Amino acid sequence: MAARQFSGKRPQNLGHTLRTLLSYLGRHKLLLLAVAALVTVSALANLLGTYMIRPVVNSLAGGDVRALTLGVAVTAGIYGLGALSSLGYTQIMVRAAQQVLRDIRRDLFDHLQTLPLQFFDTRRHGDVMSYFTNDVDTISDALNNSFAMVIQSFIQVAGTLTLLFLLNWRLSLVVAVCYGAMFGYIRFSGRRSKRYYTRQQAALGELDGYIEEMMAGQKVVKVFNHEAASLEAFREKNEALRRAGTGAQGYAATMVPAVVTISYINYAIVAVLGGIMAIRGTTDVGSLASYLVFVRQAALPINQFTQQSNFLLAALAGAERVFSVMERDGETDEGNTVLVNVKEEGGRLVPCPEKTGRWAWQGPDGSLTPLRGDVRFEHVDFGYEAGRPILKDISLYAEPGQKIAFVGSTGAGKTTITNLINRFYDVQGGRVIYDGIDVRDIKKDDLRRSLGIVLQDTHLFTGTIADNIRFGRLDATQEEIEAAARIASADSFIRRLPQGYDTPVTADGANLSQGQRQLIAIARAAVADPPVLILDEATSSIDTRTEALIEKGMDRLMEGRTVFVIAHRLSTVRNADAILVLEHGQVVERGSHEALLAQKGEYYQLYHGMFELS
């Protein structure tokens, strides 16, 4: 597995992450402006309400009942307006946050589908899922809890300092020093906890990936009695998460106590000095009362800010992981040749929108090349990792309508060849030619649309059996679905199920046998009606009787099409027009079943070895 980009590292570009997140917020600026306006009103109401203590106390001390009544009424109105503003911005913020999260999830999912297959081959599924769950959730927490609170805290801190200086600038010098001490410690603690939050997100993704992998493979774990080993590996990853979480929360947890302690010291000093000033007559009682309340409240917005900083640090770590994936280069597609349906008019082929069963490659100049299924490898070199070649100077051909079988030991490069035909990976040397066209000149969507693939490891989606077959062609009718199922010899077992084609498929087909899942996958390829078929051990999970039943249907499906077969079953290999034997990334033999047996070479030995095992 490739090394993870963020494990144990500081955020590489915090400013870039912030700008990207702000660009998402900017898409909903009207809602966020409304939130900011209402938060401002709420914060100012709190400040003005506290300031009103001064005239209320002074009118009470002077015995002016009318002024006292008016002051209380005005204060009540100010706090009422603040309460309504708070209710308004919380409701709007919820809506805005969910819209931002929707956009991020949508763009993340959309971009993931453009990434090359190598990205998914080098990552656990659980780690990829962690982007949508843990990382997006941290952004959600920050938006819902921190956006409005940070604005409110900033206004309250700035407003409180301003009013403190207006009420008594001498005492405010002491407050300013204490404020400086508070923010200094917040900065000190935040800088040290930031890298732990990034490490925590990476460790959480690692743990989620491991859990997903173990839950999916519980049968294998139990068969080999590896519960203890699995638990030990889980403990190691869980401990790594604990250490990262402890480091992150350990520093962050000291922020609030430190701020509270400094605020208590600040209040004590100001109360003593203010009392002395009031005794000496250099300040009035109302101003001192209002001032002391402001001083006492001064720690609140700072405490709120420090608490929200925890959300913000975790959110920025999660956002950096998400945005880094979204900024990865997607699959490049420099192809300019497309696949079109054609019909014959006046003795020549012309493109048409309706399905005719005939296809052609249409070049950028409008020229048409009939799709024949002629596939050739010319001196192809390829390796998944630099310095570790899988295919070495491979040259082979498949003429139109031929059934080509690849055989060889595990790791010989059989599946790699099919991955290069459909451009899941690109060759590093040589060319793959399809009907005389370099596959790199064909648009990937059109190239893959011309290929039907049945993999050894089937994957069924949540839905009905009909939905899973229809996945091969989303506009397929029920009649076409049933016809495809008959070709794959799946129709009989499907009709015996309680709900037939409407039987729900759950947990990747856990309610079906492995053979039944394989038949549905073959039916899925059949309904797509592709010009070229790739069968990667497609009948490996089907018993010999069922395999015999589907051979006729597969023959009908393969008629006039080029078919690549990776198989170990002798029946599949015997029926091939040409068998290619691969060893160590090279074609060592090619010929028909009988011709290769007569050579008594690699295929002969493989054949007899398989015969003894079958």
Q: What is the pLDDT of residues 521-531, one digit of tens each?
A: 888 888 888 87
Give, in order, the Cα–Cα distances in Å from 140 to each of 125, 192, 245, 519, 562: 22, 23, 19, 43, 51
How is residue 513 annotated by DSSP? Answer: -
Total structural domains within the chain: 3
- Its domain, for residue 552, covers 375-613
Q: What is the pLDDT of residue 411?
A: 73
221 assigned to some structural domain = no
Instruction: Name the domain boundary from 348, 370, 392.
Output: 370
Question: Nearest 10 degrees: CA dihedral of 236, 240, 246, 249?
Answer: -140
- Between 227 and 3, the higher pLDDT residue: 227
pLDDT tens-digit series, residues 95-105: 888 899 999 99
Q: What is the pLDDT of residue 613?
A: 34
3 assigned to some structural domain = no
Instruction: For residues 366 and 379, state if they share a domain.
Output: no
DSSP 514-560: HHHHHHHHHHHHHHH--SEEEEESTTTTS-HHHHHHHHHHHHHHHTT
pLDDT tens-digit series, residues 427-483: 999 999 999 999 999 998 889 888 888 877 778 888 899 998 998 888 889 999 999
Residue 379: φ, ψ to 5°: 50, 55
For the cut 60, the answer to whether the pLDDT of residue 29 exceeds it is yes
Instruction: For residues 131 and 108, state if they share a domain.
Output: yes
539 assigned to some structural domain = yes
Band (pLDDT 50/70/90 cuts) for residue 4 is very low
* Six token digits for residue 332: 């490049």
Question: Nearest 10 degrees: CA dihedral of 216, 217, 218, 219?
Answer: 120
Q: What is the pLDDT of residue 557?
A: 64
Instruction: For residues 362 and 440, state if they share a domain.
Output: no
What is the pLDDT averaged over residues 268-293?
A: 78
Q: Give the list of residues 6+ apart from residue 554 with CB closer than 8 angstroms, or none.
A: 487, 488, 522
391-398 β-sheet, strand order: 391-398, 375-382, 429-434, 437-438
Amino acid 94 reads V
Band (pLDDT 50/70/90 cuts) for residue 495 is very high
When the pLDDT of each residue in the chain is averaged and rounded to a whole number, the result is 81
381 assigned to some structural domain = yes
pLDDT tens-digit series, residues 532-558: 888 887 666 566 666 666 666 566 666
Instruction: For residues 379 and 254, state if they share a domain.
Output: no
Instruction: For residues 127 and 51, state if they share a domain.
Output: yes
311 assigned to some structural domain = yes
pLDDT tens-digit series, residues 173-201: 888 888 788 778 777 776 777 677 777 87
* Six token digits for residue 243: 């250490």
229 assigned to some structural domain = no
Instruction: For residues 150 and 280, state if they share a domain.
Output: yes
Q: What is the pLDDT of residue 310?
A: 67
Instruction: For residues 361 and 415, state if they share a domain.
Output: no
Amino acid 163 reads L
235 assigned to some structural domain = no
Closest to 604 measured CA to CA, from 613, 614, 593:
593
Instruction: For residues 352 and 383, state if they share a domain.
Output: no
Whole-number Å distance between alpha carbons of 215 and 126: 11
Instruction: For residues 255 and 351, state if they share a domain.
Output: no
Instruction: For residues 255 and 156, state if they share a domain.
Output: yes
* Six token digits for residue 324: 């880094």
Q: What is the pTM of this model?
A: 0.69
Q: What is the pLDDT of residue 129?
A: 81
- Between 306 and 92, the higher pLDDT residue: 92
Instruction: For residues 282 and 342, state if they share a domain.
Output: no
CATH number of 601's domain: 3.40.50.300
558 assigned to some structural domain = yes
H/E stretch holding 379 reads strand 375-382
Q: What is the pLDDT of residue 8?
A: 35
For the cut 80, the answer to whether the pLDDT of residue 327 exceeds it is yes
Q: What is the pLDDT of residue 187?
A: 76
Instruction: For residues 449 and 366, state if they share a domain.
Output: no
Whole-number Å distance between alpha carbons of 210 and 126: 7
CATH number of 153's domain: 1.20.1560.10
H/E stretch holding 280 reads helix 255-280
Closest to 417 measured CA to CA, from 436, 391, 454:
391
Amino acid 553 reads G
| Range of lowest pLDDT (240-249, 379-388, 496-505, 538-547) | 538-547
Q: Which long-range contacts (CB under 8 A, 24 or more apart) does 189-192 make?
A: 189/251, 189/252, 189/254, 189/255, 189/258, 190/251, 190/252, 190/255, 190/309, 190/313, 192/251
